[in-house]
Structures are given as C-alpha cells and as structure tokens.
Structure 1
C-alpha cells in the first residue's frame, strides 16, 4: 500500500494535469510556467530525498560547484534569496558537512562559503539526478521543440528582467 505522502503527491499531480488539460487549458503562460517549475522541483526533490539532500540546499550546491569560495552575500544574490534564508541554509549545510563558513584575516566582515570534500563529491551523485529529471521532462519532444522552448523562455526572462530594471530606475 502506498504511503500517505505518495498518495498526496499522486493527488497533486492529477489535479495539475486536470487543471491544464480540462479546466483552463489556455490560462496565462505565467501559471503554466509556475506549474511546470513546481513539477520539475517535485521530481527533483523526490530524487534528492533518496540521498538525504534537501531541495533547498540544491540551489546553493549548484552555485558553489561553479564558484566555490564566494561570500554569503554573493551566494544570496546568485540564488535569488534573502541573506537570512541563505544563512539558515548554510548553517544546516555546515552541520551536514557540505560547507564551511570562514572569515578571512584581511576581511573579517564577509563570510566566505567553501565546499567540503563531501560537498564536492555530492556533485557526482546529484547532477545526474537533475539530468534525469530533465530527460524525463523532454521525453516525446523533438529536439527542435526543446530548443525553441529554451529560446522562448530566455527571451521572456530577458524581457521581464529589462522591464523590472526599468521599473526600479523610474
């Protein structure tokens, strides 16, 4: 018999599918992107949890795998979250042995974040899980459709970023 959490996930999935296929198939694009993001994250979260890694740590690990040794503030900006959120996640990640938080003798103000050997090794385990989620997501799509979707989403990101910058400068 499935666990209660599995039944809940199945119910959520069925509701999302029913919403888009039956209830509001032509709803706003923003809602579709939000729901697509939600199901991507659920699929990734399920895979990460099998390795006792929290979804909230995934974003920080991805950034640190590319730019190890950045400040807590830089990490917050890259992740798009507030510094208190980053600090709480980093404290948990430090307790798990994924990162160390250090101050440099020449700059006692900034806190620098470094991956531990364990944090670095997680990359080999976790990145294939994210690649698997992406592979599942694009099954039955032609390569040109995936490329078109990617281009379209990048244009939307550019447009909305420029729009937001214009609003902030006004």
Structure 2
C-alpha cells in the first residue's frame, strides 16, 4: 500500500476563509478525514490482537489502571455507559476483562483485567510505534497536534 506524500501548506497568521462553504476550508472535514484514516490504519494491527478500535481504547485505560469503575472508564473515554456496556460484554466474553460488583458499593461495577487481558499488553506494545511511524510527525508536531485537538475538544465540549 503506497503512502501519499502530502506537504500541508501551513501559513501562520493567515485568516481562515470566513463563512466559506468550500469543503477544503472546513476544519470539521479535516478532522473527520484524519480520524477515518487513522482508525483505518489501526484496523489491521488490532485485527491481529482480536480487538476493535473502541475495545483497544478500553484496554489502554485498563493497562494503565487495572481496576476502574464503569463510570470512571466512561469518563476517561468520553463514552456513555450505553455505549460502553456492549464493549465490556464483548471483552468479557473474549476473556480479557471481568466485571465485579464493588464490595463497598454494590451499585458500582469495577472492570478488571484477566490474566489474558494483561498478557495482551505485551503484544499491543508495537501498535503505538506503528501508528506513530504511519503518521510521520516529528515529536514536536505530535505534541502540538495533541495539544490542539485537546483544546478543540475542550472548547467545543464547554462551548
């Protein structure tokens, strides 16, 4: 699969086309296209692990913090419990996680990694490297891109 080399023209200080209805002037389309391209690049890597992209995100949180409430997991991933529940059921059916009622609060469910879920972390270690290579950003561009995307998310969420 060949990669297209695209050199984005970045002119700092240039005003965006105000009120433009040209597709190329829409930040939302640039975000949408980038998201689809990145998610598609993950697919073959995650297929080898038996995970979908949303399941991979759940596993990233659990590899960082093994026992977490469904509520806190949803907050970390910015997902509603109605979206999270089917993901967790599939991960549990595949033997990667288990759901447990918390002793201190029976209404709260904790998600924990199984031995197989913890072991999958080692196999997944190559995924971020492969995605980083595919993105082709310098370390500085990587940091800047994340900062800008987090700012957009915060502004749109709180706006």
TM-score by length of 1: 0.72
CA change 1:144–1:103 in 2 (3 A) is closer
- What 5-or-longer segments of structure 2 have no aligned partner? 7-21
1:118 to 116, 119, 128: 116
Judge conservation of contact 1:44–1:130 (CA < 8 Å) in 2.
no
Report how many aligned residue pairs link the two structures.
Answer: 143
Give the structure with the higher percent helix. 1
User: Partners in 2 of 1:146 and 1:93 — Cα distance?
Assistant: 30
Shift of 1:149: 3.2
Spell out, residue by residue over 1:57-97, the C-alpha distance to the aligned partner (whole angstroms, 9 max, x if none): 11110111112211112111211122122111111111111
Judge conservation of contact 2:23–2:29 (CA < 8 Å) in 1.
no
RMSD: 2.7
- What 5-or-longer segments of structure 1 have no aligned partner? 1-5, 18-23, 164-170
Structure-2 residue corresponding to 1:91 = 89
